[in-house]
Structure 1
Amino acid sequence: MPETIPDLLRQAARTYGAREFLRCPDATLTFAEADEQSDLLARGLVAWGVRPGDRVAIMLDNTSGWPLSWFGVLKAGAVAVPVNVRYQAADLAHVLRDSGATRIITHLDHAGLADCGTPGFLMDEQSRLTPDVPTEHHDVANFQYTSGTTGFPKACMLTHDYWLRTAQIIADQVNLRDDDVLLMVQAYSYLDPQWATLVCLIGGIPLVLLPRFSASGFWPSVREHGATLTYVLGSMPLLLHKQPPHPHDRDHRMRLVICSGIQPDLHRTFEERWGAPWRELYGSTESGPDLVVPEDAAETVGTGAMGLPPPGKEVKLDETGEILVRGVPMMRGYWNHPEATAQVFRDGWYHTGDLGFRDDRGYLHHTGRIKDMVRRGGENISCAEVERVLTQHPAVLQAALVPIPDELSGELPKAFLQLRPGHEPGVDLAMSVVEHARQRLARFKVPAYVEFVETFSLTPSARIEKRHLLTPERDQRAAPAIATDTPRRETAAKEHS
């Protein structure tokens, strides 16, 4: 196996040459062309003063420029710092300041936002100087920032070895074929399109990159591009499921959908509707793939099983039910956060913060997050559990449950709801959703407050950024929040009107 990402790209260019590699919104490139063009970019970076170990931020949309920049940065011996193009000035300033990035690669569209003291490299700059920068498998390739759903993002230091092992595990899980086409919709700044790029280098297959996720446009794109493999996560499966059935739902080449967090009660429905197996992939930015479900493991459908550890990984449960992992791949640690690194790597194991249990077959199942909880009067409430019930209401598109302080109970659960088209927010609808939850959950789990939102701010992994919901300057109990028990509901309804 090649030792570095540039080695893998050069090997793929020699082996697959003129085969199609990248099918992006702006360009289509062969393996050889991607190697040649990233060489040009690497030469430009070296001429620009980039040295081995320098951090170079990449703030680009889902175009061919993203993977070419990534390859170019790594060929120059530098460290890539992926930046979400949806970041505003404060988000971007945090990443650039925390990472110590000396350069940022961007487009003119983002140049004004990126003008915060870090020199910018526009994509039309090139040089003829030839870089000769040795890189080894244990060198850091990325400062990959975590989603930051509960706090400011931290940079995971991911080595070339981490990336190559991650890609190989997934390539083995999907049993790559010569006629495969892998389609991705997530922002390239997130982990998944990056490992998908390496999977395609391993197998010599095309990567189809869409500009963004669209629930209505996803399956038409699958048919248009002849995609056979894809990966979805977060709220994507539920948003796809809530699209109206279409007579061409099963008219495609898709042979396998990889997914993180398949809703067990909808798993078989997904497979029957779209005529393809859905298989779980569990892991994190910190640890890469930790559990995989093989393509032929049909017995896991609808059970919530997340699979078994791939070669190189060990996974166990501690006495509290937390999922612990060790082995390779694994991040080197959090950049600039030694205390946080020590906290998650205790007793030789990475502590995921996820809770689970093991079934009779040895498969692990996810039961919630340790931190994504509400502590109400001594009772622990899993936010994920309540959110799943809330989104089963016919009017609710997405839901986020968060804790708000309460003098009596310590914390109370508050639900933020995004409605499906055709439904209007109001007290009656709020109470309908709460009654729906009350019929399905213990009373202490039912939201004490409901607030309607037009949309949610999402992380690059399509998860709701809950930290943006609880702004400290506002009273979370006041209008437009609606109290759902009788005394509070009457007060809030008067305020809301």
Structure 2
Amino acid sequence: MNDTIPELMRHAARTYGDREFLRFPDASLTFSDADARSDRLAGALIDKGVRPGDRVAIMMDNVPGWPLSWLAILKAGAITVPVNVRYRAADLEHVLRDSGAVATITTNEHAPHIPGTVHTLDSLSGGTARNVPVRNDDVANFQYTSGTTGFPKACMLTHDYWLRTAQVVVDEIGLRDDDVFMIAQAYSYMDPQWVTLVCLMGGIPLVVLPRFSASGFWASAREHGATLTYVLGTMPLLTHKQQPRPDDRDNRMRLVLCSGIQPALHRTFEERWGAPWRELYGSTESGCDLMVPVAAGETVGTGAMGVAPPGKEVVIDEETGEILIRGVPMMKGYWNHPEATAHAFRGGWYHTGDLGVRDAHGYIRHAGRIKDMVRRGGENISCAEVESVLTQHPAVLSAALVPIPDELFGELPKAFVQLRPGHEATAETVASVIEHARSRLARFKLPAYVEFVEEFSLTPSARIEKRHLLTPGRDQRAAPAIPVDKEQT
């Protein structure tokens, strides 16, 4: 295995040369193209003053410049800070300030909205390739995650972390020369990044869709001859809700990797599209922790998340039922949060915040979560981050965000709000609070429902007792909850 991501890129360029590597709607790059272009970008960054260990943010849509910039930053010995293009003032400012990013690489459309030093792709031209030493245990990414508590924190992910994560998948799925991997998630997330490395390792094309489209996903799979893909969150259910077509099974897909397959629909998915679906479980902190073997058809519909890959040990805490992980790959820790790092790794194990049970066959199944967060489809939402923004509204005294069940998204964020004296609990107040939040947070973080309370029940340490907010058997979407205008969320 190559020791660093730049080494892997150079090895792939030498080995696969003019084979297609990256396929976008309006561009196609070979392995040699990607290596040469990322070399020039790296040289341009160095000319702009970027030095080893510097953090450089990337904020752009799914365009060729994203993976090329990622490779270039790493070739310059720097650290990548992926930024979601849907971020607004508050969440964008938090990531850039917390990471200490010296600059952001972006495209012309996003440049006006980004504070600090900004380099557009057009401005990074004419650089000369440099040989900057990079080590296996150097940090490659500050990958922000909602974690278990508080504001999003940066997981420090090394080159070794990324390469091991990709290698686990390569070893399990058995890449073929005629494979084509297709991905529809935003590149700022984990998945397109490790998938890129999978394709570098196997010398196969990566089809990058601009965004996920429920109506167009399987049409794209047919168009591009995709044989492999990875989906998560609401993607499976949204595609399933599309009207069945006579050509649903007319595709080359041989394997769908998925996180969070709905057990009741698992067999239906396989029968409709004619390909096996296999579960993959992990986190930003720890990479791939569980995976269902491709040949394990007996797990279909059971909710099994798999077994630990080589290098990982996964157990269920006997007292709490929490899933605990140790082994490699694993993050180096949370940037600027030594206490949170120590808490996450107490007792020598990474505490996932997820609950699990082990079945008679040794497979682990998901049994709930103990994190203070909401998982809206494939998006993790930090409750503390949203609460902080809500309480900045002049009418809000205190706020608590909780997850409520939803058929499509799995969970939706609901805000309980205590108003300051003199403000009325009306739909107009809700609209004002949401408008305040909408200019500061990504849309997926906005509460879907708001309910006003006279006061909160507090713990001895003066924290809101959220467990008292969700009365068993009560529909949390019904009155007195006020639904937020769908156009705003």
TM-score, L = length of structure 2: 0.80
Matched, 1:113 2:90: no
- Residue aligning to 1:83: 83
- Residue aligning to 1:304: 303
Contact 2:415/2:449 (8 A) holds in 1: no
- Residue aligning to 2:141: 142
| Matched ranges for 1:98-497 at <5 A | 98-114=98-114, 116-147=115-146, 151-318=150-317, 319-371=319-371, 387=405, 390-391=406-407, 400=412, 402=414, 404=416, 465=444, 468-469=447-448, 475=452
Q: 1:60 to 1:485 in 2, by over 3 A?
A: closer
String of CA shifts for 1:181-217, please: whole Å, max 9, x gaps.
Answer: 0000000000000000000000000000000001001
Q: CA deviation at 1:29?
A: 0.3
String of CA shifts for 1:430-482, please: whole Å, max 9, x gaps.
Answer: xxxxxxxxxxxxxxxxxxxxxxx9xxx9xxxxx995564577xx7379xxxxx
String of CA shifts for 1:127-175, please: whole Å, max 9, x gaps.
Answer: 3433221000000000001157974211000000000000000111211
Output the amino acid matched with 1:359: D
SS in structure 2 opposite 1:273? helix
Contact 1:106/1:123 (8 A) holds in 2: no
- Residue aligning to 1:11: 11
For residues 150 and 123 of structure 1, the distance between their equivalents in structure 2, rounded to whole angstroms, comes to: 39
For residues 480 and 325 of structure 2, the distance between their equivalents in structure 1, rounded to whole angstroms, comes to: 48
SS in structure 2 opposite 1:179? coil
String of CA shifts for 1:254-307, please: whole Å, max 9, x gaps.
Answer: 000000010111101111111100000000000000001111100100000000
Contact 1:55/1:79 (8 A) holds in 2: yes
Q: 1:145 to 1:129 in 2, by over 3 A?
A: same
For residues 267 and 45 of structure 1, the distance between their equivalents in structure 2, rounded to whole angstroms, comes to: 46
Q: 1:276 to 1:104 in 2, by over 3 A?
A: same
Contact 2:286/2:330 (8 A) holds in 1: yes
String of CA shifts for 1:84-115, please: whole Å, max 9, x gaps.
Answer: 1111122211111000000110011011011x
Contact 2:183/2:207 (8 A) holds in 1: yes
Contact 2:305/2:365 (8 A) holds in 1: yes
Q: Which runs of 5+ in 2 are unaligned?
A: 375-401, 419-433, 455-470
Q: 1:404 to 1:129 in 2, by over 3 A?
A: same
For residues 476 and 225 of structure 1, the distance between their equivalents in structure 2, rounded to whole angstroms, comes to: 52
For residues 449 and 8 of structure 2, the distance between their equivalents in structure 1, rounded to whole angstroms, comes to: 44
RMSD: 2.9
For residues 127 and 308 of structure 1, the distance between their equivalents in structure 2, rounded to whole angstroms, comes to: 48
For residues 108 and 246 of structure 1, the distance between their equivalents in structure 2, rounded to whole angstroms, comes to: 39
Q: 1:38 to 1:485 in 2, by over 3 A?
A: closer
String of CA shifts for 1:6-46, please: whole Å, max 9, x gaps.
Answer: 00000000000000000013310000010000000011001
Which 4+ stretches in 1 moved above 6 angstroms? 483-486, 488-493
Output the amino acid matched with 1:50: V
String of CA shifts for 1:220-248, please: whole Å, max 9, x gaps.
Answer: 00000000000000111111111111111
Q: CA deviation at 1:400?
A: 1.8
Q: CA deviation at 1:339?
A: 1.1
Output the amino acid matched with 1:21: F
Q: 1:397 to 1:190 in 2, by over 3 A?
A: closer
SS in structure 2 opposite 1:112? helix
Q: CA deviation at 1:404?
A: 4.0
For residues 476 and 276 of structure 1, the distance between their equivalents in structure 2, rounded to whole angstroms, comes to: 49
Q: CA deviation at 1:371?
A: 2.4
SS in structure 2 opposite 1:127? coil
Q: CA deviation at 1:327?
A: 0.3
Output the amino acid matched with 1:96: L
Contact 1:470/1:476 (8 A) holds in 2: no
- Residue aligning to 2:96: 96
The share of aligned pairs that are identical, in percent, is: 67
Q: Which runs of 5+ in 1 are unaligned?
A: 375-382, 407-452, 458-462, 478-482
Contact 1:53/1:79 (8 A) holds in 2: yes
Contact 1:150/1:467 (8 A) holds in 2: no
For residues 71 and 252 of structure 1, the distance between their equivalents in structure 2, rounded to whole angstroms, comes to: 32
For residues 492 and 253 of structure 1, the distance between their equivalents in structure 2, rounded to whole angstroms, comes to: 46
Question: Number of paired residues?
Answer: 417
For residues 104 and 188 of structure 1, the distance between their equivalents in structure 2, rounded to whole angstroms, comes to: 15
Q: CA deviation at 1:75?
A: 0.4
- Residue aligning to 2:44: 44
- Residue aligning to 1:60: 60
Q: CA deviation at 1:121?
A: 4.0
Q: 1:365 to 1:316 in 2, by over 3 A?
A: same
Q: 1:241 to 1:128 in 2, by over 3 A?
A: closer
Question: Greater CA deviation, 150-159 or 73-82?
Answer: 150-159
Contact 1:56/1:103 (8 A) holds in 2: yes
Output the amino acid matched with 1:16: Y
For residues 485 and 208 of structure 1, the distance between their equivalents in structure 2, rounded to whole angstroms, comes to: 45
